Structure 1
Amino acid sequence: MSMTSQDTEARGKISYTFDEFIAKRESLDWYRDEPFLQMAVERFTDSEFEKIHKRILSFSPMVSSNWNHLAAQSARPEIRPHMLHYDAFNHRIDRVVRPMETLQLEKGVFGEGLFSSQMTAWESFVKRMLIHQLGEAGVTCPLTCTHGLIALIEEFPDEVHPELHDILMHTKEGANGEFAIGAQFMSEIQGGSDLPANLLEAVPDGKNYRLYGNKFFCSVAHADYSVVTAKITGSNKVSTFIVPSWLPGEKEKEKRNGYQINRIKWKMGTAEVPTGEFQYNGALAYPIGPKDKGIAVAVGIVLTLSRLEIGIACAGFMLRASREANLYSEFRSVFGRKIKDYPLAASKLKQIENAAQRTTAGAFKIYDLFLRLEKPLNPGLKSDHPLETRKQLFNLRELILLQKIGATKEGVEVLREAISVFAGHGVMEEFSTLPRIFRDVVVNEQWEGPRNLLLTQIYRDISRVADWYPPSDFVSNVLEGASQEMIQTFSEQLEDLLQRQVLGEVSEVSMEAAAEWDAFCNSLFKAYQEVALSEIK
């Protein structure tokens, strides 16, 4: 019997389709369909809940659909940011070229006025947690840096430099419907996170300064304004400056303010945000904050907010990973059973969900403390506050550091596990956003101080305040609500570690102590998250 043309056409055709899964994923609303996030919002916003809830319900569909589509499109490698150094007439312009999708997304995100006086802190917080679920997407790093720049100018009002007020209004409230973007340029080739090693020189020029030298790692290269650290001529101490990318009337001409962008860095993650290498050749800079306390200004204000934001971002990353892994496990059948019906897979899904909810609960609780202490920035370890307030400020300082290292480390683990639920499809970047978010969280682990640096800082902090804040009191306050047995165990471990050679010379003994310190900080913060989770559920 011969084959018909119809039989030939049918042979080898793929009948399997992912359409059901895709339709469900695309119909998800990242707030409406996330009951735990709604519970957390209700728990922490009290009388504001109904108003904020309605506004987030209105806002969320835009993030979940249109902005998500723009973020996915802008991640295509062939359209990543690049430099156009010269125009057609050989003028040096250093234009950062970014895709249309990123520009549209940026306009929408910044157009929300997330830091304006018209938006409450909690509404902004929840909206940002949703936006972070896009991944970095070329917008969340700029958003975070802009927040830091705004806080810095508000912390140090300056009548001598009216330009700073104009910059504040441009970034916070917008001008003619456009919100300016901020950046922070601190790292240099010889120092990285070691800001005291900065060599960029600030030369006095009347009431202003001119910058000369190189900044080696400058994210948000397309920003309108940047926070820059440098040493004033003749000084060995770092100062902080605000530097406009263009002087008035020059942006349209693409004439930059006395600096060049040598190149755009090739990064493993956060690839949609351009990170450049800058050469300053006399850029006009406005000083801000005490001239001999630039490191305290930069770290205490700008980096504190960035570290706080990274915790919010990790919560968003994990919520999305959990949601999409669960959805796929309910759709996909292998060897005759749904993925979710295999105990090993079900166990992983439960772990991912728990991590997402713990991280979200912890982020809410730390931000609540931040707000209750009236958004303290740069408090240092010494202050004139009453003792109990000083302890609360210290708790916040250490919790922000613990969250930064704890949430990013677990974020990497959670994203990897979520990707594994998708098996081979999990690494296909047109199939899932999770690989891109995985790379972003790996980079977030390095931003604003890598793990070892912050572990060292926490150890030194706790040691330095022991005379007025005993380690056992610190543990009991941070873990308030946990069992007495748990509090006692952590207290004993901390007191023991403070007597060990965690920061001593390298030896088998000191390396063992250092490893135990790392594990202790990780466990302590997870215990804090568990307490926060129990207060919501």
Structure 2
Amino acid sequence: MTDPTSELPTHTVENQPGPRVAELWRDAALQDGLAAHRGDIAAARGLAQALSQPQMQEAGRQANRHAPQLRLFDAAGRRLDEVEFHPSYHWLLGLGLEHGYAACAWEDGARGGHVTHAAMVYLMNQVEPGVCCPMTMTYAAVPAMSADAALAQSWVPKLTARHYDPSVVPLSGKTAATLGMAMTEKQGGSDVRANTTRAEPDGDDYRLFGHKWFCSAPMSDGFLTLAQAPGGLTCFLVPRWLEDGSRNAIHLMRLKDKLGNRANASAEIEYHGAFAHRLGEEGQGVRTIIEMVHHTRLDTAVAPAGLMRAALGEALHWCAGRSAFQRRLIDQPLMRAVLADLALDVEGALALGLRVAAAYDDPDQRPFARIAVALAKFLNNKRAPGVIYECMEALGGMGFVEDTPMPQLYREAPLNSIWEGSGNVICLDVLRTLAREPEASEALIHELRSVLGADARYDQALAEHARLWSSPAGEAEARLFTERTATLLTAAALIKTAPSAVAEGYVASRVIGDRGHVAGTVSGLDVDAILARVMPSGSG
């Protein structure tokens, strides 16, 4: 490949770093976390190396820049209700599914299945987060399918097939399938019990009538959805294509014009007598679909770690390749302080995400997983926009330009906090869980106490937090309680798996609060040791 020309008629291009070549496997925090939690290192390495190829990095850019297109009708005016995607979207989606993104957590004998899955979420989000949506929902739908043995027998083998089949044919003709979700309605939002979509019995099955305000990944082969049946709010599986070869009566009304996540389509849909299988008992819709929500929540907790890591990688690359005032940016003390501070949030988010994923792999830790995933989702997503912005600023004006990944990452930063229940919903869920599920509260306290003695400052902070615990927070204080609890839990995860420079730095700057309100306003960090774990190779 011929290098671009640096000698231009008016000037020579210099002091401009070349394009970043991502080395996603060169990630000490990821490797340490996989080892600590018995993840499949070979599987994660394989995906990381595939995603690090220049053509995959370019595919991510193309998938994001070429938005999906809605095709409601064919040339003759017949309904299609299809969405067209750029070929790069299909390429990346196929890569993720073939490496086991949706399957590895459910395969018999898989090593650290959910931990490995979480690592793949982290890696894919560094390249193109939009393609993760259909893969996450496909992964998360598997446990929900256990509510009906016959449906599970038909669907689960194809949801976990390690293959991507985008063909427009019924399930019986597919080698693999994806599954989406359509729950939210205009009048209810997160309050799904306010749904008005109705389900009318039709023999052993049902017909659905109504509207869904958000339908994620509308070209999936089926959707889990909620509707009011005669016995109350019920979960249904709605196939996209019927076995007689016809299209189900799911009408796409429009695609959402979203801030970010642009490679993925999100639609408003209407059911016009759409054929549906009941999943679980009538009136038990929330209880049935909560299994899917519980697993999508894991991905929304891990994804921001990937977004932050991608942004940090860009900032480090730029600072290592650009000089100002006769010194490389990466050698200047103030810039190093900022980058090291940001690195602590990235390491903390990943460590907490992998610890939660490990709890998903152990049935005995389900109570802990139930509460910890909510804490991880809240804190990691609240950290992401600020971290990504600071990384953008490290690039100066170029960070604001679409030639770099920074604008895409910044637009993506709010999504995972909003999806499936925004910050307030999560905080109230934390309070309810601790009040109503004693085993979850006990498991969380046990985890927080498991590192006592390793850092006196942590011990003191936990003791002070315990006093809040003994006097339950009201709803108005739910964010403060959730943030403090999640920060302590992150520190505990780092104390167990990260080098002392990282764990002690996190405790000093986050747990005891000896810092300002912006990045780089903390002293006493072992900056060299922290940055050594995240610096790109050959950058010094």
Report the TM-score range of the alignment, normalised by the length of the smaller protein.
Answer: 0.7 to 0.9
Matched, 1:262 2:253: yes
Q: What TM-score does the superposition give when structure 2 sets the normalisation length?
A: 0.82
- Equivalent residues of 1:471, 1:494 under 8 A apart: no
Secondary structure (helix, strand or coil) at the match of 1:21 reads coil
- Could you tell me which residue of structure 1 aligns to residue 45 of structure 2? 57
- Could you tell me which residue of structure 1 aligns to residue 76 of structure 2? 89
Q: Name the CA distance, whole Å, in 1 between partners of 2:349 and 2:158.
A: 33
Residue pairs, 1:477-488, within 5 angstroms: 477-482=447-452, 483-488=458-463
- Equivalent residues of 2:72, 2:80 under 8 A apart: yes
Secondary structure (helix, strand or coil) at the match of 1:209 reads strand
- Could you tell me which residue of structure 1 aligns to residue 180 of structure 2? 183
- Could you tell me which residue of structure 1 aligns to residue 282 of structure 2? 291
- Once the two structures are overlaid, the 10-residue window that deviates more, 216-225 or 173-182, is 173-182
- Equivalent residues of 1:331, 1:338 under 8 A apart: yes
- Could you tell me which residue of structure 2 aligns to residue 421 of structure 1? 394
Count of aligned positions: 471
Matched, 1:73 2:62: yes
Q: Name the CA distance, whole Å, in 1 between partners of 2:449 and 2:347.
A: 18
Aligned counterpart for 2:292 among listed residues 302, 323, 326: 302
- Could you tell me which residue of structure 1 aligns to residue 467 of structure 2? 492
Q: Name the CA distance, whole Å, in 2 between partners of 1:471 and 1:88.
A: 59
- Could you tell me which residue of structure 1 aligns to residue 140 of structure 2? 148
Secondary structure (helix, strand or coil) at the match of 2:156 reads helix
- Equivalent residues of 1:135, 1:436 under 8 A apart: no
Q: What CA deviation, in whole Å up to 9, does each residue of 1:189-229 have, x standing for no partner?
A: 11111110011111101111110111111110111111011
Q: What CA deviation, in whole Å up to 9, does each residue of 1:507-528 have, x standing for no partner?
A: xxxxxxx2x4312311221121
Residue pairs, 1:68-147, within 5 angstroms: 68-76=57-65, 79-114=66-101, 115=103, 117=107, 120=111, 121=113, 122-137=115-130, 139-147=131-139
Task: Decide whether aligned partners of structure 1 residues 90 and 471 sit closer, same or farther in structure 2, where only a CA change above 3 A counts.
Answer: closer
- Could you tell me which residue of structure 2 aligns to residue 230 of structure 1? 227
One-letter amino acid matched to 1:261: L
Q: Name the CA distance, whole Å, in 1 between partners of 2:152 and 2:372.
A: 31
Q: What CA deviation, in whole Å up to 9, does each residue of 1:444-480 have, x standing for no partner?
A: 1100101011111212222334xx5696885354342
One-letter amino acid matched to 1:240: C
Matched, 1:532 2:523: no
Q: Name the CA distance, whole Å, in 2 between partners of 1:471 and 1:64.
A: 41
Task: Decide whether aligned partners of structure 1 residues 464 and 61 sit closer, same or farther in structure 2, where only a CA change above 3 A counts.
Answer: closer
Q: What CA deviation, in whole Å up to 9, does each residue of 1:297-321 have, x standing for no partner?
A: 222x111111111122122222222
One-letter amino acid matched to 1:461: T
Task: Decide whether aligned partners of structure 1 residues 340 and 519 sit closer, same or farther in structure 2, where only a CA change above 3 A counts.
Answer: farther
One-letter amino acid matched to 2:96: V
Secondary structure (helix, strand or coil) at the match of 2:257 reads coil
- Could you tell me which residue of structure 1 aligns to residue 523 of structure 2? none
- Equivalent residues of 1:129, 1:312 under 8 A apart: yes
Task: Decide whether aligned partners of structure 1 residues 339 and 249 sit closer, same or farther in structure 2, where only a CA change above 3 A counts.
Answer: farther
Unpaired stretches in structure 2, ≥5 consecutive residues: 1-6, 166-172, 453-457, 500-540
- Could you tell me which residue of structure 1 aligns to residue 511 of structure 2? none
Q: Name the CA distance, whole Å, in 2 between partners of 1:473 and 1:226.
A: 34
- Could you tell me which residue of structure 2 aligns to residue 446 of structure 1? 418
Q: What CA deviation, in whole Å up to 9, does each residue of 1:324-344 have, x standing for no partner?
A: 212211111123222223333
- Equivalent residues of 1:415, 1:438 under 8 A apart: yes
One-letter amino acid matched to 1:268: L
Q: Name the CA distance, whole Å, in 2 between partners of 1:10 and 1:447.
A: 47
- Could you tell me which residue of structure 1 aligns to residue 515 of structure 2? none
Q: What CA deviation, in whole Å up to 9, does each residue of 1:383-428 have, x standing for no partner?
A: xxxxxx6xx5433211111111111011111111111111111111
- Could you tell me which residue of structure 2 aligns to residue 211 of structure 1? 208
- Could you tell me which residue of structure 2 aligns to residue 382 of structure 1? none
Q: Name the CA distance, whole Å, in 2 between partners of 1:526 and 1:358.
A: 9
Task: Decide whether aligned partners of structure 1 residues 164 and 475 sit closer, same or farther in structure 2, where only a CA change above 3 A counts.
Answer: closer
One-letter amino acid matched to 1:73: Q
Aligned counterpart for 2:267 among listed residues 276, 300, 303: 276
Residue pairs, 1:191-206, within 5 angstroms: 191-206=188-203
Secondary structure (helix, strand or coil) at the match of 1:214 reads strand
Unpaired stretches in structure 1, ≥5 consecutive residues: 1-8, 374-388, 504-513
- Could you tell me which residue of structure 2 aligns to residue 351 of structure 1? 341
Q: Name the CA distance, whole Å, in 2 between partners of 1:534 and 1:473.
A: 18
Aligned counterpart for 1:406 among listed residues 379, 383, 393: 379
Task: Decide whether aligned partners of structure 1 residues 480 and 340 sit closer, same or farther in structure 2, where only a CA change above 3 A counts.
Answer: same
The structure having more radius of gyration, on CA atoms, is 1
- Could you tell me which residue of structure 2 aligns to residue 246 of structure 1? 241
- Equivalent residues of 2:48, 2:123 under 8 A apart: yes
Q: Name the CA distance, whole Å, in 1 between partners of 2:408 and 2:82.
A: 26
Q: What TM-score does the superposition give when structure 1 sets the normalisation length?
A: 0.82
Q: Name the CA distance, whole Å, in 1 between partners of 2:361 and 2:411.
A: 31
Secondary structure (helix, strand or coil) at the match of 1:445 reads helix
- Could you tell me which residue of structure 2 aligns to residue 380 of structure 1? none
Q: Which gives a bigger RCO, structure 1 or 2 (Cα 8 Å, sep 6+)? A: 2
Matched, 1:43 2:36: yes
- Equivalent residues of 2:62, 2:88 under 8 A apart: yes
